[in-house]
């Protein structure tokens, strides 16, 4: 493949606003969108802000939107676009812009902190935990997450609804709840923490209407909806209609004088 010049439109601006600016830059064989953004930065726009670290699809920091689709800049090859096409690069829409392609993803760290951590089993020292492969087969997939937050960005529950952010953890962190709920050694239940109930009542599982948009953009190909969110919804529903749980709630309510 010979080199060619590609047309780019890149969002430039900050918290006060901004707009798309046009650039033309050389593209060489095997390059990815991040290479071209770096070339624009090196030759035409030295102050263009872009966040990246690994250039290998592993750090999750180069998330942006390319032609409106949430993607990793470093894992999107230029060869997937038509040479005549103008490629538009914009910051993640669901999070506030800091500058140019860099957004403030604090929302995600806040949600991460709201999910109660793994509860160690009583009487077993750290280092003595033992699990069978078969027991972690389902949840192991979720550990591939690189925390790029593309799923969080694309989910319609928060993408255009700032007002939902307070009560919705988003697919990445609902997946975290599902992972802990499937964990063979997690002693949350014994300690009085019902992860299924908190998924519904505190992390907004009910907002998810299983559109699978999160799954479609995940660069690690994690089946977020099918393997984490739907099973969590099923287990939360089973719990709700469990006759023993129902009876316990009734007795509890009577005890409260309600």
Whether the Cβ atoms of residue 219 and residue 57 lie closer than 8 Å to each other? yes
Question: Which option in ligand FES, ligand SF4, none does residue 57 bind, with CB closer than 5 to 8 A by kind?
Answer: ligand FES
Question: Which option in ligand SF4, ligand FES, none does residue 64 bind, with CB closer than 5 to 8 A by kind?
Answer: none
Question: Which option in ligand FES, ligand SF4, none does residue 199 bind, with CB closer than 5 to 8 A by kind?
Answer: none
Please count the other Cβ atoms lying within 10 Å of the Cβ belonging to residue 56: 9
Q: Please report, as ranges, the residues that interact with ligand SF4 according to CB under 6 A.
A: 145-151, 155, 157, 171-172, 208-214, 217-220, 222, 224-225, 229
Cβ nearer to ligand SF4, comparing 40 with 94: 94
**Smallest distance, ligand FES to C-beta of residue 148, A:** 6
Cβ nearer to ligand FES, comparing 149 with 168: 149
Cβ nearer to ligand FES, comparing 114 with 220: 220
Task: Please choose, from the candidates 101, 86, 98, 83, the residue with its C-alpha nearest in 3D space to the C-alpha of residue 34.
Answer: 101
Supply the DSSP string of the chain, one letter for each residue: ---EEEEEEEEEEETTEEEEEEEEEEE-TT-BHHHHHHHHHHHT-TT-----S-SSS-S---EEEETTEEEEGGG-BGGGS-TTPEEEEE--TTS-EEETTEE--HHHHHHHHHSPPP-PPTT--TT-----HHHHTTTGGGGG-----HHHHH-HHHHT-GGGGGG---HHHHHHHHHHHH-TT--TGGGT--HHHHHHHTS-GGG-----HHHHH-TT---IIIIIIHHHHHHHHHHHH-HHHHHHHHHHHHHTT-
Cβ nearer to ligand FES, comparing 172 with 195: 172
**Smallest distance, ligand FES to C-beta of residue 147, A:** 10
Cβ nearer to ligand FES, comparing 15 with 221: 221
Q: Which two tokens stand for residue 233?
A: 């919804």
Question: Which option in ligand FES, ligand SF4, none does residue 91 bind, with CB closer than 5 to 8 A by kind?
Answer: none
Question: Which option in ligand FES, ligand SF4, none does residue 55 bind, with CB closer than 5 to 8 A by kind?
Answer: ligand FES
The owner of tokens 């140019």 is: 100
Question: Which option in ligand SF4, ligand FES, none does residue 236 bind, with CB closer than 5 to 8 A by kind?
Answer: none
Whether the Cβ atoms of residue 226 and residue 216 lie closer than 8 Å to each other? no
Q: Please report, as ranges, the residues that interact with ligand FES according to CB under 6 A.
A: 52-55, 57-62, 72, 74
Question: Which option in ligand FES, ligand SF4, none does residue 28 bind, with CB closer than 5 to 8 A by kind?
Answer: none
**Smallest distance, ligand FES to C-beta of residue 245, A:** 42
**Smallest distance, ligand SF4 to C-beta of residue 12, A:** 25
Cβ nearer to ligand SF4, comparing 206 with 252: 206
**Smallest distance, ligand SF4 to C-beta of residue 9, A:** 25
């Amino acid at each position: 493949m010979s080199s060619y010049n590609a047309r780019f439109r890149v969002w430039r601006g900050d918290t006060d606003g901004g707009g798309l600016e046009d650039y033309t830059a050389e593209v060489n064989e095997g390059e990815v969108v991040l290479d071209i953004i770096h070339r624009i930065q090196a030759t035409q726009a030295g102050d263009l802000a872009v966040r990246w670290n690994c250039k290998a699809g592993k750090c999750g920091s180069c998330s942006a939107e390319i032609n409106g689709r949430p993607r990793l800049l470093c894992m999107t090859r230029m060869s997937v676009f038509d040479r005549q096409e103008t490629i538009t690069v914009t910051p993640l829409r669901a999070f506030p812009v800091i500058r140019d392609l860099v957004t403030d993803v604090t929302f995600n760290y806040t949600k991460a902190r709201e999910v109660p951590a793994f509860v160690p089993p009583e009487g077993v020292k750290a280092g003595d935990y033992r699990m069978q492969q078969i027991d972690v087969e389902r949840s192991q997939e979720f550990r591939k997450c690189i925390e790029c937050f593309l799923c969080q960005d694309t989910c319609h529950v928060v993408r255009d609804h700032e007002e939902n952010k307070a009560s919705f953890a988003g697919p990445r962190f609902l997946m975290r709840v599902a992972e802990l709920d499937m964990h063979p050694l997690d002693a949350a239940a014994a300690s009085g923490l019902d992860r299924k109930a908190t998924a519904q009542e505190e992390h907004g599982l009910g907002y998810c209407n299983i559109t699978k948009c999160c799954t479609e953009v995940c660069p690690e190909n994690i089946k977020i909806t099918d393997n984490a969110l739907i099973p969590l919804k099923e287990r939360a529903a089973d719990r709700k209609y469990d006759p023993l749980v129902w009876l316990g709630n009734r007795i509890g309510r009577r005890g409260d004088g309600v």
